[in-house]
């Protein structure tokens, strides 16, 4: 395993596409005390040159073959952000090379690769591995989870979550990548984007034990199901419904919110990325609304968890097992739709998703970017 000396962790990037440009790099550049990018690899010379230009990382540190990057002595850890069909092989190469690993989700293309990812935990016990389930780290979701844990809505009995919008190829957007339009992984957009919503569901409702799903193929621009309607039964006794529609045609303005109905109140997670809201309606009719702006969808906190584990040891929240649990709900939904039957779930986690807090802090947001207007109640 690469020796991690004093100072920032020496990070290698494998893949420098849209996910790095729009999601990871904006967080990394705010963390010079934690990370320094010492090398990057991309099979596209044009993409590598683009990354060097906007990041300021010396183009001489670029490699076309990720194995050349992994052979470097000045790389302690790697961030793997490549198309889903390539994740498993490159992740394994990184671990064999002795590097700590932050790997984009999901854990492979199907159940077989998910099991192979799980084997990493036994095969490489001295490596830190974090799978990029950034919703586990998002401030509004963690805040809502703390409210649920504190009994703000009593016992959860029903969850309703809707996700609907237009999805067509647009230049410079994630939808423009050919590997997403012709996915070589099961479920297409529901395994790629949908696992984020499943992460939110598991954070707030716990693990699902049964699912019953149905799908539609109603978007000619993607070779995968466009619509998913999913009923869930949770280990804690609650039930829920998740509806996802990735429409080819424009859709009306959609609330795209999650509602948690409890015996003592209702919790609503809503709003666009720029201004997310967590609203609590109590049994007495009073309302509390907490607002989150500029919170970056959890990438900064995710990188904090990874760097703390590399530096100080201890577990991460975004384990392989947690990511596999998200993935298996999507796969079970597809199985259910194919078989027209309820599917029972065996999850590889115990006790659901832990609530992440900044290291050494009793609070949820210490040292994290963004602004929050939270009731003092």
Based on the fold, state whether residues 20 and 107 are members of the same structural domain. Answer: yes
Domain count, the chain: 2
Based on the fold, state whether residues 146 and 282 are members of the same structural domain. Answer: yes
| Residue 371 in domain | no
Domain boundary among 127, 160, 180: 127
Based on the fold, state whether residues 121 and 141 are members of the same structural domain. Answer: no
| Residue 313 in domain | no
Question: 20 exposed, middle or buried (CB, 10 Å; 0-12, 13-18, 19+)?
Answer: buried
Alpha-carbon distance values, 151 to 155, 267, 352 (Å): 7, 11, 17
Based on the fold, state whether residues 210 and 162 are members of the same structural domain. Answer: yes
| Residue 334 in domain | yes
Domain boundary among 92, 127, 162: 127
| Residue 340 in domain | yes
Query: In CATH, what number is assigned to the domain containing residue 98?
Result: 3.40.50.720
| Residue 354 in domain | no
**pLDDT confidence of residue 108:** 96
Q: Indicate the pTM of the whole model.
A: 0.96
Based on the fold, state whether residues 171 and 53 are members of the same structural domain. Answer: no
Domain boundary among 109, 127, 145: 127
Rg of the chain on CA atoms, in Å = 20
| Residue 307 in domain | no
Based on the fold, state whether residues 39 and 153 are members of the same structural domain. Answer: no
Based on the fold, state whether residues 64 and 20 are members of the same structural domain. Answer: yes
> Position of tokens 């001489």?
60
- The Cα angle at residue 91 between residues 88 and 96, in degrees rounded to 5: 120
Range of the domain at 267: 136-295+328-348
SS (H, E, C) the chain: CCCCCCCCEEEEEECCCHHHHHHHHHHHCCCCCCEEEEEEECCCHHHHHHHHHHHCCCHHHEECCHHHHHCCCCCCEEEECCCHHHHHHHHHHHHHCCCEEEEECCCCCCHHHHHHHHHHHHHCCCCCEEEECHHHHCHHHHHHHHHHHCCCCCCEEEEEEEEEEECCCCCCCHHHCHHHHCCCCCCCHHHHCHHHHHHHHHHHHCCEEEEEEEEECCCCCCCCCCEEEEEEEECCCCEEEEEEEEECCCCCCCCCCEEEEECCEEEEEECCCCEEEEEEEECCCCEEEEEEECCHHHHHHHHHHHHHHHHHCCCCCCCHHHHHHHHHHHHHHHHHHHHCCCEECCCCCCCCCCCCCCCCCCCCCCCCCCEEECCCC
Based on the fold, state whether residues 143 and 216 are members of the same structural domain. Answer: yes
Based on the fold, state whether residues 233 and 123 are members of the same structural domain. Answer: no
Contact (CB, 8 A) for 172 and 50:
no
**pLDDT confidence of residue 81:** 98
Query: In CATH, what number is assigned to the domain containing residue 158?
Result: 3.30.360.10
| Residue 308 in domain | no
Give Cα 255 distance to the centre of its chain.
21
Contact (CB, 8 A) for 145 and 265:
no
**pLDDT confidence of residue 1:** 59
> Position of tokens 């394994």?
92
Query: For the chain (length 377 residues), average pLDDT per consecutive 10?
Result: 78 97 97 98 96 98 98 98 98 98 97 97 97 98 98 98 95 88 94 97 97 98 97 96 97 93 98 96 96 96 98 96 97 98 84 94 95 87
Based on the fold, state whether residues 176 and 285 are members of the same structural domain. Answer: yes
**pLDDT confidence of residue 376:** 74
Based on the fold, state whether residues 156 and 69 are members of the same structural domain. Answer: no
Based on the fold, state whether residues 109 and 145 are members of the same structural domain. Answer: no
Q: How many angstroms separate the CA atoms of 135 and 5, rounded?
A: 30
| Residue 370 in domain | no
- The Cα angle at residue 238 between residues 233 and 239, in degrees rounded to 5: 45
């Amino acid at each position: 395993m690469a020796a991690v000396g004093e100072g920032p962790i020496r990070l290698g990037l494998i893949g420098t596409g849209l996910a790095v440009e729009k999601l990871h790099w904006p967080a990394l550049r705010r963390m010079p005390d934690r990370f320094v990018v010492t090398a990057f690899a991309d099979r596209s010379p044009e993409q590598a040159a683009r990354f060097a230009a906007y990041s300021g990382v010396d183009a001489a540190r670029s490699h076309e073959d990720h194995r050349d990057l992994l052979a470097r002595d000045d790389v302690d850890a790697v961030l793997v952000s490549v198309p889903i069909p390539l994740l498993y092989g490159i992740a394994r190469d990184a671990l064999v090379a002795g590097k700590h690993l932050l790997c984009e989700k999901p854990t492979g293309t199907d159940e077989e690769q998910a099991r192979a990812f799980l084997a990493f935990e036994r095969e490489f016990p001295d490596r830190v591995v974090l799978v990029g389930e950034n919703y586990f780290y998002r401030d509004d979701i963690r805040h809502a989870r703390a409210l649920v844990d504190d009994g703000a809505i009593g016992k959860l009995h029903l969850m309703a979550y809707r996700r609907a919008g237009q999805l067509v190829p647009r230049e410079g957007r994630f939808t423009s990548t050919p590997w997403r339009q012709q996915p070589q992984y099961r479920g297409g957009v529901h395994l790629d984007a949908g696992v984020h919503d499943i992460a939110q569901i598991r954070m707030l409702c716990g693990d699902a034990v049964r699912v019953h799903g149905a799908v539609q193929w109603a978007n000619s621009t993607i070779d995968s199901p466009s619509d998913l309607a999913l009923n869930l039964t949770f280990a804690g006794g609650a039930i829920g419904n998740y509806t996802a529609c990735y429409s080819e045609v424009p859709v009306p303005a959609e609330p795209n919110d999650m509602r948690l109905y409890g015996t003592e109140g209702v919790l609503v997670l809503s709003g666009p990325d720029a201004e997310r809201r967590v609203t609590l309606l109590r049994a007495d009719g009073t309302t509390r609304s907490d607002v989150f702006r500029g919170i970056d969808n959890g990438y900064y906190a995710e990188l904090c968890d990874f760097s703390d584990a590399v530096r100080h040891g201890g577990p991460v929240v975004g384990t392989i097992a947690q990511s596999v649990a998200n993935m298996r709900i999507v796969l079970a939904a597809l199985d259910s739709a194919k078989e027209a039957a309820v599917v029972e779930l065996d999850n590889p986690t115990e006790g659901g998703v832990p609530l992440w807090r900044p290291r050494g802090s009793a609070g949820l947001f210490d040292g994290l970017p963004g602004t929050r207007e939270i009731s003092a109640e």
